[in-house]
Structure 1
Amino acid sequence: MRALVFTGPGAMEVRDVPEPEVGAGEELVHVVTSGICGSELHGVRTPGFRVPPLVMGHEFAGRTGDGRFVVVNPILSCGACDLCALGLRNVCRKREIVGVHRPGGFAERVAVPSGTLTELPEGLGWTAAAIVEPAANAVHAWSLAGAPAGARVGVIGAGAIGLACLLVAGSGGAARIEVADRSEHRREIAGRLGADAAVAELAGEYDVIFDAVGAAGTHEQSLARLRPGGTAVWLGLADPTAGFDAAALVRGEKQVVGSFAYRDADFAAAVGLVAGWDLSWVATFPLSEGAEIFTSLMNGRTTPVKALLTF
């Protein structure tokens, strides 16, 4: 079968790879569409825990052998620890992720545990199905912020996760949402999706700020623009440097909450949300162009906010 393979630092190739072995308790998914995540671009450019050769892809949907249309929750947990018992599978100390620790959805077929499958509602398109996973990240972040209806919300970064945060906050009853991004193109998209303001940098004061970038400078901005007693939710992973004024955090009784992936309820909620979203900012490309589009995105030469591979 054909797959897009991470072969070495900065290198992606479309190759023939062996068919997946389907183990006990697993099912074979025939992939229809799979999203390229910013974490994958970073992981190929600067290899770390993603070890080549690897078939990545953790945002994917497809058909099972018996014809069900499904989306895959890529988080695999031990199911037996204290955190799993609390419903915190996303932070299980032994968690693994499909497409990171085992072959993922950048292939025509992939074997996954049966428990990872969620059947798609009738009529949900494949583009929306591939956006469920990033949408679940935003649902989780909104929940961690307290799902504050009536809040003044700031979003830093208008990539796929930032736009999902905008859409989730909008559906959750935020009073005003402002989105910051350096790209004029992405600011235009944010405005079209309902942002009350789309700016190069946040100004004023907010009850909640989502940092979907995760650089030292955006960490600093997320706290500087937060009202006393407000909450900054950090989703981005661009830079491990904290970069903020800890004394100001204490004096303003501000909160910083880390948000990693999602809980099962967040994933289920995302399935129901994406059907009504404007996804005109999502572009699709055939697997045969996978190496080219991935490399272009990685090097900043291609501009779609979200790219999906189709099979």
Structure 2
Amino acid sequence: MKALVYTGTNSSELRDVEAPVAAGGQSIVDLSFCGICGSDMHAWHGHDERRIPPLVLGHEAVGTALTGPLAGRRVAVNPLMTCNDCPACDSGNHHLCGTRELIGMRYPGAFAEKVMVPDANLTVLADHMSFSEAALAEPAAVAVRAVEIAAGTGATADSRIVILGGGAIGVLVAQVLAARSFARPRIAETNALRRGMLENIGIAGSYDPREETPEDGSVDLVIDCVGMGATRAAASAMARPGGVIVHVGLLDNEPGLDTRRLTLQEIGFFGAYCYRHQDFATALDLLTGGKVTGEGWTEIRPLDDGAQAFIDIDQGRAPPKIILATG
């Protein structure tokens, strides 16, 4: 079968690879679409020791089950694989399982014509839902998790909210906030193409953080969808006393977080990683109901153009989300 293979730092190519074979409790999915995630870019840049080339990346996938209990059905893939038998899994926090894995990390991913996943990781799609919209389910689940954490820390509908990063997760966080009736946030984004898209789709105000920034100590809730030293420093400064920072992005682990200010001003700092099963289901519900959509900020390209898509994202010539048509 055809697959886009990560071959080394800043390098990928289309190859013929062996098709997956399912064992007990596993299904083969004939893939239709798979989105390029920021973590795929992180690996492509050579910054993820867990993703060792040559490897088929990709985990934001949808398609049709070929085998297993849902054979013949249109499905969304939850790429998070866990043991289902530990305190974290038993409490519903599968994303905190000590043996968690994602397809496209140490297992072959979904930038391919087919992928193998556990039967339990498939969800049947509503008949009216397009594959291209359903391909946003996984990143939307990340956004749902981030907003759930924010709401649990006391953020309210009228909170002043700033999102750092206008990539896919930032856009989806803004849409999930809107679906939950939060006030319209502002999004910090350095890429002019993305700022234009954000203004056009109307989900948030945008600004270039190199030219302006919110007043120090003025923001109730900061959601960092970049996760680099500079954004942690910006979040530390703009959060108000008693405010909250939700940290989603994982770009680097460089210094920047002002722990002294966080302590003196009792600013809460919460990590948000991946999602619970319920978050994935909520994301699909939001997409099915049209409350979250890819309209105006996504682009579909053929799998054959996948190598160039990575280059275009790297060089800032791409919208917040490129989805590869794999089938």
Do Structure 1 and Structure 2 share a fold, with TM-score over 0.5? yes
**One-letter amino acid of the structure 1 residue matched with residue 52 of structure 2:** V
Q: What is the CA distance between 1:290 and its match in structure 2?
A: 1.4
CA distance in 2, matches of 1:129, 1:255: 33
Q: What is the CA distance between 1:78 and its match in structure 2?
A: 1.2
Higher mean C-alpha displacement, 251-260 vs 187-196: 187-196
CA distance in 2, matches of 1:198, 1:287: 31
Unaligned ranges ≥5, structure 2: none
Q: What is the CA distance between 1:196 and its match in structure 2?
A: 4.7
What corresponds to 1:56 in structure 2? 57
What corresponds to 2:198 in structure 1? 190
What corresponds to 2:254 in structure 1? 241
What corresponds to 2:161 in structure 1? 153
- Equivalent positions of 1:119-134 (< 5 A) are 119-134=124-139
CA contact (8 A) 2:8 2:46 kept: no
What corresponds to 1:203 in structure 2? 214
- Equivalent positions of 1:41-120 (< 5 A) are 41-47=41-47, 48-65=49-66, 66-120=71-125
Higher mean C-alpha displacement, 186-195 vs 232-241: 186-195
Q: Give deviations 1:221-260, integer Å, cap 9, x for gaps.
A: 1121111111111111111124122111011110110111
Q: Give RMSD over aligned pairs.
A: 1.4
Q: Identity, % of aligned pairs?
A: 36
CA distance in 2, matches of 1:88, 1:193: 33
Q: Could you say what secondary structure the match of 2:55 adopts?
A: coil
What corresponds to 1:304 in structure 2? 319
The partner residue of 1:139 within 140, 144, 150 is 144
Unaligned ranges ≥5, structure 1: none
- Equivalent positions of 1:25-44 (< 5 A) are 25-44=25-44
The partner residue of 1:173 within 177, 181, 185 is 181
Matched, 1:219 2:232: yes
TM-score, normalised with respect to structure 2:
0.91
TM-score, normalised with respect to structure 1:
0.96
Question: Structure 1's 19 and 156: CA in aligned 2 closer, same or farther, altered over 3 A?
Answer: same
What corresponds to 1:7 in structure 2? 7
Q: Give deviations 1:77-109, integer Å, cap 9, x for gaps.
A: 111111111111112111111111211111101
Higher mean C-alpha displacement, 215-224 vs 136-145: 215-224
CA distance in 2, matches of 1:211, 1:304: 19
CA contact (8 A) 1:193 1:278 kept: no
CA distance in 1, matches of 2:306, 2:260: 46
Q: What is the CA distance between 1:152 and its match in structure 2?
A: 1.5
